[in-house]
Amino acid sequence: MILPAGVNAVKDRHGKTRYRFRRVRMPSRYLPGEPGSDVFMAAYDECLSAIERPKPPRPPRRKPKVLSGQPYVYFIGERRGPVKIGTSNDVMRRLCDMQVSYPRRLSVLAVTPGGADIERMYHQHFAGDRMSGEWFRRTPALMAEMKRLRDANLSNRKSGSK
């Protein structure tokens, strides 16, 4: 038996042969009846005449300019739990790279301009709270420092006025 273009024969879990219409960028649909029957051909014609709805355009992804281009010391972590103190020239890219291998949602908790020297200073300051590598326990002192950095960054931003 020759099947019309775009139709495949598929055996379901009960061993019954079903016929599925598939086209690129169109929804897949099972067709009723046997190939050649009036019901099958009517459903097939309906599939062919379906108008493809264009997908709405995706808004372009934009990185905040404030977090790329120069070295920053970042504080990244979950809403609760340990915090990673590191440095990067592109904090948002670093967040994305970390998120790939981390099972829960991470976010940038605080950020400050500075390179390896500032990062080292933070590592030494919070050395007693170090868990492993660049990961630190979320202590009241660490939370206070992150809040201080966030408040400082907010006060340094330009207002929306022209």
114 and 73 in a single domain? The answer is yes
- Tell whether 76 and 146 lie within a shared domain: yes
Domain of 79 in residue numbering reads as: 65-156
Q: Compute φ and ψ for 93, nearest 5 degrees.
A: -65, -40
38's tokens: 């009036």
User: Do 73 and 34 share a structural domain?
Assistant: no
Same domain, 74 and 151: yes
Query: Does the predicted TM-score (pTM) go above 0.85?
Result: no
Give the residue carrying structure tokens 């933070």. 122
Same domain membership, residue 130 and residue 72 = yes
Separation between Cα atoms, residue 94 and residue 71, nearest integer Å: 12
- 27's tokens: 């929804």
**Helix, strand, coil % (nearest 5) of the chain?**
35, 25, 40
Structural domain count, the chain: 2
Q: Do residues 76 and 33 both lie within one domain?
A: no
What would the pLDDT profile of 2-50 be if each residue is shown by its tens digit?
888 889 999 989 999 999 998 877 778 899 999 989 999 999 888 887 7
- Residue 86 inside a domain? The answer is yes
| Torsions phi, psi for 91 (to 5 deg) | -65, -40
**What distance lies between CA 133 and its chain's CA centroid?**
25
Kindly state the average pLDDT of the residues 98-123. 92
